[in-house]
Amino acid sequence: MKVLIATDKPFAAEAVNGIRDVIEKAGFELVLLEKYTEKKQLLDAVANVDAAIIRSDIFDKEVLDAAKDLKIVVRAGAGFDNIELDAATANDICVMNTPGQNANAVAELALGLAVYAVRNFYNGTSGTELMGKKLGIHAYGNVGRNVARVAKGFGMEVYAYDPFLTAEAIEKEGVKAVASAEDLYTTCQFVSLHIPATAETKNSINYALLSKMPKNALLINTARKEVINEAEIVKLMEDRKDFKYVTDIMPGNHAEMAEKFAGRYFSTPKKMGAQTAEANTNAGIAAASQIVDFIKNGNERFRVNKK
Ligand code: NAD
């Protein structure tokens, strides 16, 4: 059994060693393709492997069709919008993610971005504090839960909206559940986004929703840029001089945002929520273990595509 690690942006060496350990202990062979610059290299590399571990690497129909022996591809991370799920299903390939493994890293960054914003991007002027403020968590999954935990440490009042969870499931963790996204944005001065990018959520964070936020609003986006309606957030920030936006996922209109909203807008130069040694290693090793368990025992617990 050949297991490929195909990473345009490589794992840390420690993570690769951990993955190798799991794969070789199972009696499989590890193949490494790192920092590839052309799609052809990826197409060649997938041609004769049984399993693949990837990060943000694009596994579209062309790649999946070229992977004649591939049985499983695991995205070491949470979001799997870089994989064409229908094409994988058509080719009888199981797609998995590794939910939760990078959740603490993303949560720490989200709160770090919040502190940075309320302290006026560390420009030396007097800012405000997080304690006592209302934080709305939009999607209470693995990252959302960790944001709640850290935010409670800051003394924030935490609210959450997640249509796929019951109010009881949210409230047993000391977080107030609200019934709609509108309620969340109306109630909370701070909103942290943790929705996946799906057909339903793309472009859903729009003028109508954001304009409901109380005075001195802050939107933190460590989810995906696609969920934001970029034209409408520009309009909103033009209309609301008290509105700040911070993200680790550079918007398509970054240059315009940076120019128009200096002092109220910040994006990290690269997506970095999950960029910690710990998250890297956890997600990589989880991916390797899931592959071994799938091939040896048929365990599909983390499968995300239809059969
Ligand atoms: P998760 O699957 O654990 O949680 C997602 C949650 O979203 C679930 O609780 C689900 O019920 C909820 N949800 C789905 N559709 C919704 C909707 N329409 N409205 C409200 N809630 C909805 O995922 P996670 O680990 O918490 O990660 C969340 C997202 O964060 C990922 O999909 C990914 O896009 C992004 N992410 C970014 C980074 C980064 O580096 N910035 C790293 C990890 C994850």
3-state class (DSSP) for residue 200 = coil
Same CATH fold assignment for domains 2-101+275-297 and 103-267? yes
Contact by Cβ (8 Å): 295, 50: yes
Domain ranges across the chain: 2-101+275-297, 103-267
The CB of 140 under 6 Å from ligand 1? The reply is: yes
Beta strands 29-34 and 51-54 are: unpaired
The CATH number of the domain covering residues in 2-101+275-297: 3.40.50.720
- Structural element, H or E, at residue 53: strand 51-54
Taking the C-alpha atoms of residue 158 and residue 155, their distance in angstroms, rounded to an integer, is: 9
CA 92 / ligand 1 centre spacing (Å): 26
pTM of the predicted structure, to 2 decimals: 0.88
Domain 103-267 has CATH 1.25.40.10: no
Q: What is the 3-state secondary structure (H, E, C) of 122-174?
A: HCCCCCCCCCCCEEEEECCCHHHHHHHHHHHHCCCEEEEECCCCCHHHHHCCC
The CB of 102 under 6 Å from ligand 1? The reply is: yes
Interface pTM, i.e. ipTM: 0.99
CA 27 / ligand 1 centre spacing (Å): 34
- Closest of 122, 93, 110 to residue 148, by C-alpha: 110
Ligand 1 atom at minimum distance from 196 CA: 32
Ligand 1 atom at minimum distance from 200 CA: 18
The two structure tokens encoding residue 33:
């393709």
Ligand 1 atom at minimum distance from 140 CA: 9
pLDDT tens across the length of the chain (307 residues) = 999 999 999 999 999 999 999 999 999 999 999 999 999 999 999 999 999 999 999 999 999 999 999 999 999 998 899 999 999 999 999 999 999 999 999 999 999 999 999 999 999 999 999 999 999 999 999 999 999 999 999 999 999 999 999 999 999 999 999 999 999 999 999 999 999 999 999 999 999 999 999 999 999 999 999 999 999 999 999 999 999 999 999 999 999 999 999 999 999 999 999 989 899 899 999 999 999 999 999 999 999 999 9
Laid out side by side, the sheet with 51-54 consists of 29-34, 2-7, 51-54, 72-75, 94-97
Q: What does the DSSP 8-state code read for residue 276?
A: S
The two structure tokens encoding residue 237:
């920030």
